[in-house]
Amino acid sequence: MTADRPLLGISLMIAFCAVVPIGDAMAKLLGPSVPLVQLLFIRFAVQAILLLPIVWATGRSLSMTSRVVGLTALRTVFHIVGSATLFVALWLMPLADVIAITFVLPFIMLLLGRFILDEEVGPRRLIACTVGFIGTMLVIQPSFVEVGWAALLPLGAALAFAFYQLVSRQTAKDNDPLSLQAVSGMIATLGLGLLLAAGSGSDVGILQLEMPDTREIWLLAAISGFGTFAHLLLTWSFRYAPSATLAPMQYLEIPCATLVGWLVFRDLPNGLAALGIAITIGAGLYVVYRERRAEAIPAEG
């Protein structure tokens, strides 16, 4: 088992928060010009192609127990679903709004712990969850007026990534991050490849195969490269620091996404969305604080 190195874990999480919005911006620039399943297939195939030679060259092993293989496959499914819903949301909505809405994730994880894992959650944290959801709704509202029910897609992405992170915590501590991400890339490539093969010749738009032009090839390479690197940083961060230490750092992704959104698209959240973002961040950080208090004093909520 790897010893905790909190400063390194925090640094890796900060790097993740800075890198992941860049890949998201590339996905928004690409738009729906490449069919969704083909985009996901390329994204994860490049991940496998980039990481497998590194794994072999550094003498790492791809050998895993059946339990870890099963958890990695489950984690990969959640990663694919989360990425798919996030990509579609990015095509329809401002980058900062999409990222801010996905930060309902900590509240989802708290509620999953309460109702699925039967963890003790006190009334103060449940109230913070309610406040956080209200903040999220304020961010959703402007986009809902413009794009309708599609504005709820980031909530679906948040739910998928909540399960993704729960499973990541079960595998990251005792397994090499490079090997985990390489195996995840192979599993996703195989699954998405079979899906594309099954859908070939059908009239389902997202299952079509199209030859990308030069601009699209560069954007696909950027999405895949930044996405692979970002989630490698995320996996590494959980390896070196406990989730309670990393949780506050994850909120740095929102200002990073806002900055990238402004630099690339000249998008800034409007007043109502900015208020919602502030409320969501505040409620989320309060939940983190109460989580730490609960660990120190189990009777408190």
Best CA proximity match to 87, nearest among 125, 45, 131, 42? 42
Query: pLDDT value at position 40?
Result: 94
In a domain, 301, yes or no: no
CA 143/CA 150 separation, integer angstroms: 9
| pLDDT tens digit sequence for 84-125 | 999 999 998 888 888 888 878 777 777 776 676 566 666 776
Query: pLDDT value at position 19?
Result: 92
Which carries the bigger pLDDT value, residue 32 or residue 139? 32
In a domain, 251, yes or no: yes
Query: pLDDT value at position 26?
Result: 92
Query: pLDDT value at position 252?
Result: 80
In a domain, 209, yes or no: yes
With bands split at pLDDT 50, 70 and 90, how would you rate the model's confidence at 299? Answer: very low
Which DSSP string do the residues of 59-93 spell out, in sequence order? T------HHHHHHHHHHHHHHHHHHHHHHHHHHHS
- Enclosing domain of residue 178: 6-296
Q: Which of 176-180, 245-249, 289-293 has the lowest mean pLDDT?
A: 289-293
- In three-state form (DSSP H/G/I as H, E/B as E, the rest C), the secondary structure along 2-16 is CCCCHHHHHHHHHHH
Query: pLDDT value at position 148?
Result: 80
Query: pLDDT value at position 120?
Result: 63
In a domain, 137, yes or no: yes
CA dihedral 151→95→234→103, nearest 10 degrees, is: -40
- Across 75-89, 131-145, 231-245, which has the greatest mean pLDDT? 75-89
Q: What angle do CA 72, 250, 293 make, to 5 degrees?
A: 100
In a domain, 63, yes or no: yes
b (16+ CB within 10 A) / e for 172-196:
beebbbbbbbbbbbbbbbebbeebb
Q: What is the mean pLDDT of residues 146-170?
A: 84
Q: What is the mean pLDDT of residues 262-275?
A: 83
Q: Which residues contact 267 (CB under 8 A, 6 or more apart)?
A: 94, 95, 96, 261
With bands split at pLDDT 50, 70 and 90, how would you rate the model's confidence at 268? Answer: confident
With bands split at pLDDT 50, 70 and 90, how would you rate the model's confidence at 1? Answer: low
CA 43/CA 227 separation, integer angstroms: 8
| pLDDT tens digit sequence for 191-228 | 999 999 888 777 777 888 888 899 999 999 999 889 88
Which carries the bigger pLDDT value, residue 151 or residue 288? 151
In a domain, 1, yes or no: no
173, pLDDT greater than 90: no
In a domain, 255, yes or no: yes
Which carries the bigger pLDDT value, residue 268 or residue 183? 183
Determine what percent of the chain is predicted with pLDDT higher than 90.
Answer: 25
Q: What is the mean pLDDT of residues 2-10?
A: 73
Query: pLDDT value at position 187?
Result: 95
CA 78/CA 112 separation, integer angstroms: 15
27, pLDDT greater than 60: yes
Tokens at residue 148, please?
């309708």
Domain count, the chain: 1
Mean pLDDT of the chain: 82
pTM for the structure as a whole:
0.80
Q: What is the mean pLDDT of residues 11-32?
A: 90
Q: Are 51 and 286 in contact (CB under 8 A)?
A: no
CA dihedral 55→58→59→60, nearest 10 degrees, is: -40
In a domain, 119, yes or no: yes
